[in-house]
Amino acid sequence: MGELPSDLVRVVLSAETIHNRVCEIADQLSEDYADKGGIYIIGILKGAFIFLADLTRQLTVPHVVDFMALSSYGKTDTFSGAVRIIMDLREPIEGRHVLIVEDIVDSGHTLDYLYRTLTGRKPASLRTCVLLEKKRDSLDVPIHYLGFEIKDVWVVGYGLDFADAYRTLPYIAELKRD
Ligand code: PRP
């Protein structure tokens, strides 16, 4: 794998570990949605783009990929901010089997907002698929498919960034904080 960039402390999840788990989740999804006639998959930009690309290419059931972008105004390390939609879906989701794909749930506010918003659009079903889960403030938004639980440290790679850097690392690593 070569040397870690100097801003990174250690690899938390290797490319191989991630790949194996992504395949397991894709198998589970392919089984669960086998009789649903297709999944409307929503990737949340930017962080989910690599997870989404790898996951969807392992699926054996029909699916459509769409994207949303959200932003948290005033987001800081300790405050999750107010979530708003900055890019919406191309199509209505009423009556469709919808799966939200997220890279990480930290406080949970983004997913909670999204889940409530999309529920209001009356999909036939709505589930969530999240690669990483951190602490989650006691929000009761469900995570139906989860890759890994991780410690409350800042991680980058495999879609996750620090100031837009490190998103395309093939592994997930802990960032040095000074
Ligand atoms: C990250 C991540 C989630 C959200 C999770 O997005 O992709 O969408 O934060 O945080 P929360 O659970 O505390 O709400 P970010 O706002 O960093 O945007 P990005 O995906 O474009 O990097």
- Full set of structural domains in the chain with CATH: 8-175 (3.40.50.2020)
**Cβ–Cβ < 8 Å for 95, 123:** yes
Angle between helices 49-56 and 15-32 (to 10 degrees): 60
Q: Which of 45, 101, 105, 133 to mutate to test the pocket of ligand 1 (most atoms within 8 A of CB)?
A: 105
For residue 142, CA distances in Å to 30, 45, 50, 115, 150 come to: 20, 20, 22, 9, 17
Could you read off the pLDDT of 47-68 as tens digits, one per residue? 999 999 999 999 999 999 999 9
Amino acid code (one letter) for 79: F
The reported pTM is: 0.94
CA distance 138 to 14: 29
* Residues facing residue 127 across a β-bridge: 99
Q: Which of 75, 104, 131 to mutate to test the pocket of ligand 1 (most atoms within 8 A of CB)?
A: 104
Could you read off the pLDDT of 148-178 as tens digits, one per residue? 999 999 999 999 999 999 999 999 999 998 7
Query: 87 phi and psi, to 5 degrees?
Result: -145, 125
Could you read off the pLDDT of 5-42 as tens digits, one per residue? 999 999 999 999 999 999 999 999 999 999 999 999 99
